[in-house]
Amino acid sequence: EYTNKAGATNLTKHTLIPEIPKYLQQIRQYLGELGLTGASRKKLQEELTGDTDDDYDNF
């Protein structure tokens, strides 16, 4: 809240709110690089094992 010279109280936005999407994008990028998402985990597994078939095919 902010009180101006006339005595009226106004609500103000927190200054870090516009920064949140930028940091969320960075977190998503790091998760992908570390293999912590489903798609990146599968890609990493394929690179490490050379296995390109899906486990559901064997089921």
Tens of pLDDT, residues 17-47: 999 999 999 999 999 988 899 888 888 888 8
Domain boundaries along the sequence of the chain: 16-50
Which residue, 46, 45, 44, 21, is CA-closest to 33?
44
Look-up: residue for tokens 């994008």? 25
- Please list the alpha-helical segments (H only) found in the chain: 20-33, 38-49, 55-58
Q: Alpha carbon of 53 to those of 13, 41, 56, 57: distances in Å?
A: 50, 14, 9, 7
Whether the model clears a pTM of 0.95, i.e. scores above it, the answer is no
